[in-house]
Amino acid sequence: MSNQTVWFSSVLRTAEHFYISIGYPHIDYKRMFILEHKQHNAKVVDSDMVFTPEEEKELQELSLLSKKAWGKSPDLQGMNILPSKLWTRDVRTPDPALNAFTITGRYLILSEQCGELFQQFNLGNSKLVKLQIYNMGTLEPDNERFFYFLDIAEWRHYLLPEKSSNACRSIGYQKHGYDAYQYRLYSNEKLTLSDEALNCDIDLWHDPMLWDSLFLSDRLYMELSNANIIADFDFVPCILDNLI
C-alpha cells in the first residue's frame, strides 16, 4: 500500500488500564475465581480456611489452560485460542468515551465503533473479537456495551534506532534476535523508519525492536482521525528515512 507517512502509537503503555481479565470458552472462570479466593484466604493469619492439595492441583490445571491459550500473545505474535468474554471484579468500568484501553495482561481493547473501523483494513494475521465485559460475581454482562479485543499478531521491522536516539533508548540486550529499545514517553520526538514502511503490506503492525510498539498506516490513521477517535492512542507521525 502507498501511504503519506506512518504513525506510531504508544497506546499499549499510555492508555487507561483496567483490572479486567480475558476469558476463554474452554475454561470455567467462576470455578477458577472461587479457588483463587480460597487460596488467598487460606494464607491469611489465623484463617480457618483450608485449601486442599486437590484444589491446588485443580487451580494449577486451570491456570495452565489459560497459559496455553495465550500462545505468543505476550510477544505480540498472536494467541492460540481467542477469548470469548472479558471478566471484571472491579466496580470501575471503562468510560463510554474511551475508544482504546488496556486490561490485565497488556491486551488492547477497542470500543465497538473503533473496532468496526479497524475491521475495514488489512490487519494480516491480527484478529478482532467482539465481546462483552462480564461481572465475576453475577456472571452477567456488566452492561449492554460491546467491545473489540485486538489480538496483535504481525511483526514488521522498519525502525532505525541509530537515527531515532532522541525518541527511543536502548534496553541493553537483545530479544528475539533484535536489539531491544523503548520509546521515550512524552519526549515529543519522532521515530525514524526505513522508507520501506510506506509500502508495508498491512495497516497495523508491531516492530520487534521497540517494546510495546504499534504502527499504523496513514490511511488507517486518517480514518480514525476523521471519525474523531484518536485521542486515546497517543499518535506520533514517524520520519521516513530518505524522504526528509
> Per residue in 93-151, pLDDT tens?
899 999 999 999 999 999 999 999 999 999 999 999 999 999 887 778 878 899 999 99
What integer pLDDT is reported at residue 221 of this predicted model?
A: 97
Of the candidates 8, 11, 75, which has an alpha carbon nearest to the alpha carbon of residue 216?
Answer: 8
Rounded Cα gap, residues 218 and 103, in angstroms: 26
Helix (H) or strand (E) holding 62: helix 53-70
Q: What are phi and psi of 161, to 5 degrees?
A: -65, -30
What integer pLDDT is reported at residue 60 of this predicted model?
A: 95
Average pLDDT over residues 10-19: 94
Average pLDDT over residues 183-212: 94
Spell out the domain ranges in the chain. 6-12+155-240
Q: Name the 3-class secondary structure at 199.
A: helix
pLDDT value at 53 more than 60:
yes
Using pLDDT thresholds of 50, 70 and 90, give the confidence band for residue 91.
low
Report how far apart the first and last C-alpha atoms of the chain are (Å, whole number).
Answer: 20
Query: How confident is the prediction for the chain on average, in pLDDT?
Result: 91
Average pLDDT over residues 202-210: 97
Q: Are strands 192-193 and 239-240 parallel, antiparallel or unpaired?
A: parallel
According to the per-residue pLDDT averaged within each range, which of 17-31, 90-104, 197-211 is highest? Answer: 197-211
